[in-house]
Amino acid sequence: MSAFTNFAKRSLHISVQIAKYGAIIYCTTHCITEYVVDFTRCTGPSMMPTIHNDDVVLTEHISAKFTHKVQRGDIVIFKSPTNPRQFMCKRVVGLELDRVPYNSAWKFIRSSHIPKGHIWVEGDNYSNSSDSRTFGPVPFGLLRGRAVYKVWPVERIGPLPAAPNR
């Protein structure tokens, strides 16, 4: 065999190995960020002072996707009920079958209770937040994850408080 043929075979073998390991790394990373944990950048003033504009939080997906074990006081990331291309970051104020908070301006109220399979969310910046008071209860199916730890910027690193700082 010529030196060129040997080189071509080795190069092809190396390329196949790189592609194989690249696919494994990609699939593993996708599964981890989709089903276990990822980072989310929160924008807007609705969660201030707990989360500032452009803060990055660590978000776990297990409790939201598999067990629906979110609790009152948790900060959740969910698909916006009014714009499915946008994700929102709010605090859980009510769980399914709880009474709708009395100060709700929710216009489409059919019952005084949060429907089964839904949660009630509000921003910590109560006067500057688009939340369940305007779009109603959020279905569990729109939940992406639960924010557990602030990771950026460095001066604000730490666990997220369980109660709003109103």
pLDDT tens figures, 16-56: 899 999 999 999 999 888 889 999 999 999 998 889 999 99
Percent of the chain scored above 90 by pLDDT? 37
Query: Other CB atoms closer than 10 Å to residue 120's CB: what's the count?
Result: 25
> Does 79 participate in catalysis according to the annotation?
no
Judged against a pLDDT cut of 90, whether residue 75 lies above it is answered with yes
| pLDDT at residue 2 in the model | 80
| Single pTM value for the model | 0.80
| Active-site hit among 11, 90, 127, 150 | 90
Judged against a pLDDT cut of 90, whether residue 76 lies above it is answered with yes
**Mean pLDDT for the stretch of residues 135-151:** 91
Rounded to whole angstroms, what are the CA distances from 88 to 39, 69, 115? 14, 19, 20
> Does 104 participate in catalysis according to the annotation?
no
| pLDDT at residue 18 in the model | 92
| Active-site hit among 46, 104, 129, 132 | 46
pLDDT tens figures, 49-70: 889 999 999 999 988 877 678 8
| pLDDT at residue 1 in the model | 65
| pLDDT at residue 104 in the model | 57
Non-local (6+) Cβ contacts of 76 within 8 A are: 64, 70, 89, 90, 91, 92, 119, 121, 143, 144, 145, 146, 147
Q: Where are the domains of the chain?
A: 1-35, 36-159
Domain topology for 36-159: Umud Fragment, subunit A (2.10.109)
Longest dimension (CA), the chain: 83
